[in-house]
Structure 1
Amino acid sequence: MVQSRNTTSLRKRLENDEITLGMAEDAYSPTLIELYGGLGLDFVWIDFEHAGPSPWDATAVEQLLRASELTGTELLVRVPVTEPALVRKALDAGVRNVFLSHVDTADEVRDIVRAAYFHYDGEPGERGLAIPRASRWGLDDDYAATEDEDVLIGVTIESLEAVENIDSILDVPSLGFVFIGPFDLSVAVGHPGELDHPDVQDAIETVRSRSVERGVPVGGLGFGMSDVNEKANNGYQMLNIGTTTIAIQEIVAEWLDEYERS
């Protein structure tokens, strides 16, 4: 069933303590993004770190954005490098929610967040002012005054250094969320892929508990809907419930297993 169009930004939903659900669209298909929006997902995660087109390719990014805007879902765009110029370019294309990878210190986070805003922590920000797609090419008269209201900048916590610095990272003004990366954390503690290893779980719980205590929205991966429901009851506000390719694999494999050969 097609759901009603959502007009509340992801940032405002998190600020209202709502729980949001999304899918990682790893086929980078505008059609599938449009479908996910029609199904009622709150966000679609586009990961430019590990695959997909170049995040510097504004035309490719705009095609994905148009599909999301049509059905009222939002893109959650992870960029591969912590670089202010890349964040500004994504925002100018119309991305509202930027997701940073491999960030270890509060200073790194602060530099990026400041670059995303016209006004930052009571001072001028470092967002460049132009007439890009985000301003409807200059047709939005309120662009400079209102743009900051819907921008959401978050970080992936996926290294031991970031876990050790979690308190100072959480103190960065206007940090929108932290997202726990269990797979990279498992590599960081020396147990790749062992998500249940005590050291991995300790790192995850440190980030989760500190974020909830500080009132910073925390996101994570859901491993089946029972896990999603448990995490939603445990303080997570952003939950990725699956990926396109894994969903297709599971469904097609089930069909093939049920096929009765003559």
Structure 2
Amino acid sequence: MAEPLPTNGLRKTVDSGGVALGVLDNTYSPTLVEFYGDLGVDFIWLDFEHGGPDPWDAATVENLLRAADGTGTELLVRLPDTDPTLVRKALDLGVKNVFLPRVETADEVREAVKSGRFRYDGEAGDRGLAAPRARRWGLGENYIEASDEETLVGTTIETKEAVENIEDILAVPDLGFVFIGPFDLSVSLGHPGEIEHPEVQDAVETVRSAAVEADVTVGGLGFGMDDVNEKAESGYQILHVGSTTGAVQNAVRGWLEEFDGERN
């Protein structure tokens, strides 16, 4: 019996003008993905560029997806490469939200976005048509239409070249979102780690304002909840509020600091 395919909660939030709040889980744990979902986060960011399992490891990725599916949250997966084959693989496994690392041109972005769609900009897309997990192994209803409607393929803006080409990148049809990466951007601009450097901040603002003007969803890192709230007010709709390791670090250090006895 055919079953309706699940909607993309992250896309629903941003399309309605809302703000999605998420956590970076740098332990890549299905248990924590499930727990974060129960806590009510809108998405869990899995960064396969800087760590984590091999994104080609289908069984591992599927277990992370099942943990998210069970609690009604979404995964936001950063791939380690812009290879369209990898985009298609992630989507076939059931990931609905992917974004690309270190792009520089609109052509790179267009190729990846097109690879995630069956129909693209009035023409044929490059998505492969099979019966994978995303299709519930052939049981999914209206798979082609639902996939094109629910999938978000976005890109990180984290290089000097991407900032210079931002207008062309934002004009790519069906681009899901841009996510501003200030740390890698600081490296590309010659100020590694200095995310408050005026040149880095100018680049961040260039991207933010251009995305808002072009009506393309913009995402970014939050550095404390005051910063998250300010960014939400300025047009960001996908916001990282913290990480697993950051939360554990704060909790454990707090416990140790409050101990009244002596420690060796």
Would you call these one fold, judging by a TM-score over 0.5?
yes
Report the 3-state secondary structure (helix = DSSP H, G, I; strand = E; otherwise coil) of the residue aligned with 1:71: coil
* Percent identity over paired residues: 63
Once residues 18 and 7 of structure 1 are traced to their aligned partners in structure 2, the CA distance between those partners, rounded to angstroms, is 16
Kindly indicate whether the alpha-carbon contact (under 8 Å) linking 1:7 and 1:72 is maintained by their aligned counterparts in 2.
no
Alignment of 1:30-49 (within 5 A): 30-49=30-49
Once residues 7 and 172 of structure 1 are traced to their aligned partners in structure 2, the CA distance between those partners, rounded to angstroms, is 23
> What does residue 29 of structure 2 align with?
29
Alignment of 1:66-105 (within 5 A): 66-105=66-105
Give the C-alpha shift of residue 144 in structure 1.
Answer: 2.0
Alignment of 1:212-223 (within 5 A): 212-223=212-223
Once residues 184 and 75 of structure 1 are traced to their aligned partners in structure 2, the CA distance between those partners, rounded to angstroms, is 22
Equivalent residue letter for 1:110:
R
Give the C-alpha shift of residue 112 in structure 1.
Answer: 0.5
Could you list the per-position Cα deviations for residues 203-229 of structure 1 after superposition, in whole angstroms to 9, with x for gaps in the alignment? Answer: 000000000111101001000011101
Of 136-145 and 225-234, the range deviating more from structure 2: 136-145
Could you list the per-position Cα deviations for residues 174-229 of structure 1 after superposition, in whole angstroms to 9, with x for gaps in the alignment? Answer: 00100000000111111111111001100000000000111101001000011101
Alignment of 1:213-252 (within 5 A): 213-252=213-252
> What does residue 3 of structure 1 align with?
none
Report the 3-state secondary structure (helix = DSSP H, G, I; strand = E; otherwise coil) of the residue aligned with 2:56: coil
Kindly indicate whether the alpha-carbon contact (under 8 Å) linking 2:9 and 2:42 is maintained by their aligned counterparts in 1.
no
Give the C-alpha shift of residue 12 in structure 1.
Answer: 2.4
Report the 3-state secondary structure (helix = DSSP H, G, I; strand = E; otherwise coil) of the residue aligned with 1:99: strand
Equivalent residue letter for 2:211:
S
CA distance 1:84–1:8, change in 2 (3 Å): closer
Give the number of aligned pairs: 257
Kindly indicate whether the alpha-carbon contact (under 8 Å) linking 1:65 and 1:94 is maintained by their aligned counterparts in 2.
yes
Alignment of 1:1-262 (within 5 A): 9-261=9-261
- Structure 1 stretches of 5 or more lacking a match? 1-5
Q: Which runs of 4+ in 1 moved over 6 A?
A: none
Once residues 86 and 189 of structure 1 are traced to their aligned partners in structure 2, the CA distance between those partners, rounded to angstroms, is 28
Once residues 190 and 146 of structure 2 are traced to their aligned partners in structure 1, the CA distance between those partners, rounded to angstroms, is 45
Kindly indicate whether the alpha-carbon contact (under 8 Å) linking 2:97 and 2:152 is maintained by their aligned counterparts in 1.
yes
- Structure 2 stretches of 5 or more lacking a match? 1-5
Once residues 99 and 7 of structure 1 are traced to their aligned partners in structure 2, the CA distance between those partners, rounded to angstroms, is 18
Of 138-147 and 97-106, the range deviating more from structure 2: 138-147
Give the C-alpha shift of residue 94 in structure 1.
Answer: 0.3
Give the C-alpha shift of residue 16 in structure 1.
Answer: 1.3
Once residues 192 and 115 of structure 1 are traced to their aligned partners in structure 2, the CA distance between those partners, rounded to angstroms, is 33
Give the C-alpha shift of residue 15 in structure 1.
Answer: 1.4
What TM-score, normalized to structure 2?
Answer: 0.95
Kindly indicate whether the alpha-carbon contact (under 8 Å) linking 2:99 and 2:153 is maintained by their aligned counterparts in 1.
yes
Once residues 255 and 13 of structure 1 are traced to their aligned partners in structure 2, the CA distance between those partners, rounded to angstroms, is 36
Kindly indicate whether the alpha-carbon contact (under 8 Å) linking 2:211 and 2:217 is maintained by their aligned counterparts in 1.
yes
Kindly indicate whether the alpha-carbon contact (under 8 Å) linking 2:8 and 2:151 is maintained by their aligned counterparts in 1.
no
